[in-house]
Amino acid sequence: MKTLLHRLGHALIPLLMLWGSGAWAVVDGINGPTFNLTAKVDTINSADGGTLFAWGYASDDKGPFPGVMQYPGPTLIVNQGDTVTINLKNELPMPVSMVFPGQSGVTATGGSEGLLTREAPAPVAPATVSDPVTYSFVASRPGTYLYQSGTRPDLQVEMGLVGAIIVRPTGYDAESNKIAYGHAGSRYDHEYLFLLTEIDPTVHEKVASNMANGLAPDEGVDSSTCLLYTSDAADEEDSVDLGGRRI
């Protein structure tokens, strides 16, 4: 059974990332355009009081808790037109990476070649970090976007390697011009970020057991895939419910 997590934990869990309240409510994140992140291990608490082994991204040098893994990852805040640079290091025992759905012209340097992008390899020895891989793109469109691992995303996103990017529009000012997009119709008073994730505890327990016993993290982890064929002959827009997920 999937378990929804709330804002509790040893690692920072900003499921609802807020700072302040009332008229000063703003999203709690770290400002760019350059970010230094590390993929690492920590534990998080679930709403039922249990503890779960997890992976996540940590900001090396920004935010209230530098070096602490967050689940979901740190919210990255940039301005429209910024050239965003993300340097990713890895402490996990398998390669990791980052992909940026909705962003175009992403370049990646360093690390090693992966299936979707360049990856930060696993460190050569425990308790060390890998050489970084660097990702860069121009934040051309305002809005809210995901970032996530592009390496075994079926496993690594499940384990916690996911977060949000907020691109502030041209003309945004926190005091005098709070707009979501580049026009007055998107003006607002308060802002909140809600990033919904889910966890399958059995996967996390299996990965923790594998790592404790010197096995590959994904050894014996169910990674079966499904191909779904759909065709819509309806006159109106419709969707299909797949165990709580609508497509």
Greatest mean pLDDT among 22-26, 85-89, 196-200, 223-227: 85-89
- Structure-block tokens of residue 110: 């360093």
Look up tokens 């930060």; give the residue: 120
Tens digits of residue pLDDT in 73-124: 999 999 999 999 999 999 999 999 999 999 999 999 999 999 999 999 999 7
The rounded distance, in Å, linking the Cα atoms of 72 and 58 is 10
pLDDT band at 71 (very low <50, low <70, confident <90, very high): very high
pLDDT at residue 20 above 70?
Answer: no
Question: What pLDDT, on a 0 to 100 scale, did the predictor assign at position 95?
Answer: 96
pLDDT for the residue numbered 246: 55
Three-state helix/strand/coil letters over the chain? CCECCCCCCCCECCCECEECCHHHCEECCEECCEEEEEEEEEEEECCCCCEEEEEEEEECCCCCCCCCEECCCCCEEEECCCEEEEEEEECCCCCECCECCCCCCCEEEECEECCCCEEECCCCCCCCCCCCEEEEEECCCCEEEEEECCCCHHHHHHHCCEEEEEEECCCCECCCECECCCCHHHECCCCCCECCCCECHHHHHHHHHHHHCCCCCCCCCCCCCCCCCCCCCCCCCCCCEECCEEC
Cα–Cα nearest to 69, from 89, 32, 90, 40: 40
pLDDT digits (tens, 9 = 90+) for 49-64: 888 999 999 999 999 8
Query: CA 122, 111, 131, 149 torsion: positive or negative?
Result: negative
Per-residue model confidence (pLDDT) at position 131 = 86
pLDDT-derived band at 9 (thresholds 50, 70, 90) equals: very low
pLDDT computed for residue 182 by the predictor: 87
Alpha-carbon torsion (45, 38, 159, 127), positive or negative: negative
Residue range 59-72: mean pLDDT, rounded: 93
Question: Given this model, what pLDDT does residue 27 score?
Answer: 79
Model pLDDT, residue 103: 96
> In what order do the strands lie in the sheet containing 30-31?
30-31, 76-79, 162-168, 143-148
Q: What average pLDDT does the segment 177-188 reach?
A: 92
**pLDDT tens-digit readout, 207-245:** 999 999 999 999 999 766 778 787 777 777 666 655 555
Band of residue 129 on the pLDDT scale cut at 50, 70, 90? confident
What percentage of the chain exceeds 70 in pLDDT?
A: 83
**Distance in angstroms (rounded) separating the CA atoms of residues 126 and 113:** 22
If you average pLDDT over every residue of the chain, what do you get?
Answer: 86
Q: Is the pLDDT of residue 199 over 70?
A: yes
Residue type for 80, please? Q
The predicted structure's pLDDT at residue 167: 97
